[in-house]
Amino acid sequence: MLKFLKFTGNTTDTDLLSTSSKTTNDSSITVNRILITNTHDSNELTVDRLYIDDTTNEYDIIANVKIPVGASLLLDEDIVSTGIDFIKQKNKFQLKLTTTGSANCALIIK
pLDDT at residue 80 in the model: 65
- Burial (Cβ within 10 Å: 0-12, 13-18, ≥19) of residue 27: exposed
What was the pLDDT predicted at 84?
60
How far is the C-alpha of 66 from the C-alpha of 2, rounded, in Å? 24
In the chain, the amino acid numbered 96 is K
Mean pLDDT by 10 residues, the chain (110 residues): 87 82 49 90 94 86 94 83 58 84 91
What contacts 10, CB < 8 A, 6 or more positions away? Answer: 99, 100, 101, 102
- Residue 49 — φ and ψ, nearest 5°? -155, 130
**What pLDDT, on a 0 to 100 scale, did the predictor assign at position 2?**
81
Q: How far apart are CA 103 and CA 24, in angstroms?
A: 36
Q: What was the pLDDT predicted at 22?
A: 45
Distances (CA, A) of 41 to 4, 69, 110: 20, 6, 25
Domains present along the chain, CATH in parentheses: 3-109 (2.60.290)
